[in-house]
Structure 1
Amino acid sequence: MKRFILLTGLVLIGISGFCQTKSEKQEAYNKAKQAVELMDNGNYDMSIQLLEEATKLDPTNFIYPYEIGYALILKKKYKKATKYFEKVVKMEGSDDQSYQMLGNAYSMGGNKEKAIDAYNRGLKKYPNSGRLYLEIGNVHQDDWNKALEYYEKGVQVDPTYPSNYYWLAKIFCNSTEEIWGMFYGEMFMNIERNSKRTEEISQLLFDTYKSEIQFTSDTTKSVSFSQNNVIDITAKKPTLPYSMIYETGLMIAVSDVNSITLKTLHKIRSQHTNFYFDQKFNDSYPNVVFDWHKTLIQKEMFECYNYWLMMKGAPDEFDEWIGTNQEKFESFINWFSENPMPIDNEKSFHRLNF
């Protein structure tokens, strides 16, 4: 759930014009700021009272009734919360986040049909809202195939919104098509950094590499990230399934390693990237993730990036490595914070593009 006050408090006074006096707007803001502090401390009733007073002082500002709805959700008064959010979505300045909260209130109150209706109403106004596709997917989590459709649509229309990638990574890495989970997971970590979910996906990526790359002997190795390795020979121009390209590169890359560690994964991923571009697969199958890998290799940042990406899968190994690479890693983090993976509507990753 999201709130507005703390994010936009500095501009609240000017949001709704000057119908009220500046002092009334200032007083409304001061009350709302105090209300948020009370809400954070669990005093929901007093918080709501102050927000009601703020609403009377500045009635055209949607943020105050939004926060009342938020407080009511925290009180588990979902039906009452929906009444506030139904008003909020009709007010000037509200956006897709307001429809998200309206749907969430319905969903948490046990009314999935009205929740989906609220999200769909939001999508009519905001068709490129990743957060609304996310919520519809969440409602359908009892049917992962159905949920998958909405998460992937969310990635398609809103490639910088992280939560759809998060769920796609979890779904695919726990399926027989782990290949897509590897890409979605890495995209997620590049968009949402330094959260508990980031740590979770970091371990998931490492664990998936470890489970899908097997070393049965010094000379026998297997790579299995997909069961979809069938070529459609009936097509006018038969093409290799993307998984075959991905797995072939990995098989070559693991030829001289015998275990999965952070160190060997850096080597595997480096050789895999070089193979991809040496074979010019990037011409037929452009991939923003591999483009990013190539950039990092050229800038000699790929080792630090790989250790960062999968550190939670092997924390002891990471700690040992950082002990002798602290300065290099800090330099990478500083660069990384200023140079994120380029992701936008032109540069994005979506399974259906392959």
Structure 2
Amino acid sequence: MRKVVMTLILGAFLYPFTLSAQTENSPELQQIITSAGKFLSQNDFDNAAAMYTQAIRMAPENVALRRDLAYTYFLKKDLDRAKQTIEPVLNSSSADEQTFQLAAAIEQANGNFAKAKKIVSSGLDKFPNSGLLYNMKGNLLIVDAKNNSSALKEWNTGIQKEPAYPTNYYNAAKAYFQNGEYMWALIYAETFINLEPYTAKTVDMKRMLLDGYKKVFSQMSDNTLPEFNNSKSTQKQKNDFAGAFKQSINTNISTISDGFDVDNLTMLRTRFLVYWNNNFAQQYPQSLYTYQTRIVKNGHFNAYNQWLFGAVDNSQNFTAWATQFKDAIKSFEMWKQNNPYLPNVADEHPAK
């Protein structure tokens, strides 16, 4: 059981490793930290731990160094030493969000779920707007829950508290897809891709985004006739964000009636935006659609959709397209680099 729990944690736990002690001026210390990072990236935990220990002797008050040493022991599955290393920091006024996250992960790996939850709650008392800690809280709840509703609540809260933190979108998107709630899966997956565009998780989200559109298309392609002479069933639209989304998709679904490919999906998304902006943009703010509209106005929407869907839909076709339109790709990438997407606290959310 302990092995299974550790596997789950190592798969879900996100510790944003960076070089420690960047404020320290000693070139020798920086060299040791760099060496420790290289050993850690090579899974050479013994040498990484030795380097971090040496660095801590040179900078004993550096929180990041102690946290990185504890993380090294965590990866090594030496949970006792990981706990011994992180606890003095956790119990001090210097404890930051990552300290609470790592301490909770260590307790979770030891099977102490109650204590792990207590640590995260203490962290949220200190950092009430921490997307990272809400993500950790959701991860703790999903392990032994019968469904993902409680975890989803925490991930959504994290999204609302800290919209620019990516991982809550990733976890929430997967949960909504699993639940068959494809609208939020689509929105959150694309949001994550834009916030974290170049990781293994990005590829995972791109596949899920494409699959989500296929699911939406299959749901919208119901050939059942509506009731005859029933104005309620034919005229009344559901008056909420989900209803607005469905109406905007339904109105333009004919764009992919002759096949589901990237070109047709791009056309659907283009017409969706036009319809959304004309009918719902003011009532239901959603910064992702605003960002998509900016991409359209700047002439990059085709390249953007190829970037999202091309490789995961058909890698051979995407390679041919990329070869033919090198300048379009380069222009889009430069534009995106200078115009990163930032979610807005006013965005619609499932909890609203």
Letter in 2 for 1:85: I
* TM-aligned CA distance change 1:251 to 1:79, over 3 Å: same
Tell me what 1:177 maps to. Answer: 181
TM-score by length of 1: 0.83
Secondary structure at the counterpart of residue 38 of structure 1 = helix
Maintained 8 Å contact 1:262/1:314: no
TM-score by length of 2: 0.83
Instruction: State the Cα distance separating 1:78 from its structure 2 match.
Output: 1.2
Tell me what 2:203 maps to. Answer: 199
How do 1:290-329 and structure 2 match up within 5 A? 290-311=289-310, 312-329=312-329
How do 1:113-192 and structure 2 match up within 5 A? 113-141=114-142, 142=145, 143-192=147-196
Instruction: State the Cα distance separating 1:42 from its structure 2 match.
Output: 4.0
Deviation digits for residues 289-334 of structure 1, max 9, x if unmatched?
2211221121111111111122223333322322322211111011
Letter in 2 for 1:330: K
Instruction: State the Cα distance separating 1:84 from its structure 2 match.
Output: 1.6
Letter in 2 for 1:162: P
Tell me what 2:340 maps to. Answer: 340
Secondary structure at the counterpart of residue 213 of structure 1 = helix
Aligned residue pair count: 321
Deviation digits for residues 17-70 of structure 1, max 9, x if unmatched?
xxxxxxxx5554444443333344444334334433332332222222222211
Tell me what 1:60 maps to. Answer: 61
Secondary structure at the counterpart of residue 255 of structure 1 = helix
Maintained 8 Å contact 2:73/2:79: yes
Supply the RMSD in Å over aligned alpha carbons. 2.4
Maintained 8 Å contact 2:176/2:182: yes
Identify which range, 93-102 or 177-186, moves more after superposition: 93-102
Deviation digits for residues 69-123 of structure 1, max 9, x if unmatched?
1121122111321222121234565410111111111111221111111111111
Letter in 2 for 1:109: N
Instruction: Give the whole-Å Cα distance in 2 for the aligned partners of 1:301 and 1:271.
Output: 15
Instruction: Give the whole-Å Cα distance in 2 for the aligned partners of 1:268 and 1:55.
Output: 56
Maintained 8 Å contact 2:163/2:344: yes
Percent sequence identity is 24
Instruction: State the Cα distance separating 1:339 from its structure 2 match.
Output: 0.5
Tell me what 1:241 maps to. Answer: 240
* TM-aligned CA distance change 1:295 to 1:75, over 3 Å: same
Secondary structure at the counterpart of residue 254 of structure 2 = coil
Maintained 8 Å contact 1:38/1:44: yes
Instruction: State the Cα distance separating 1:145 from its structure 2 match.
Output: 0.9
What 5-or-longer segments of structure 1 have no aligned partner? Answer: 14-24, 224-237
Secondary structure at the counterpart of residue 218 of structure 2 = strand
Secondary structure at the counterpart of residue 341 of structure 1 = coil
Deviation digits for residues 261-315 of structure 1, max 9, x if unmatched?
1000100011111011222x11211221221122112111111111112222333
* TM-aligned CA distance change 1:2 to 1:221, over 3 Å: closer
User: Aligned pair 1:288/2:300, yes or no?
Assistant: no
Instruction: State the Cα distance separating 1:246 from its structure 2 match.
Output: 1.1
Maintained 8 Å contact 2:255/2:264: no
Tell me what 2:15 maps to. Answer: 2
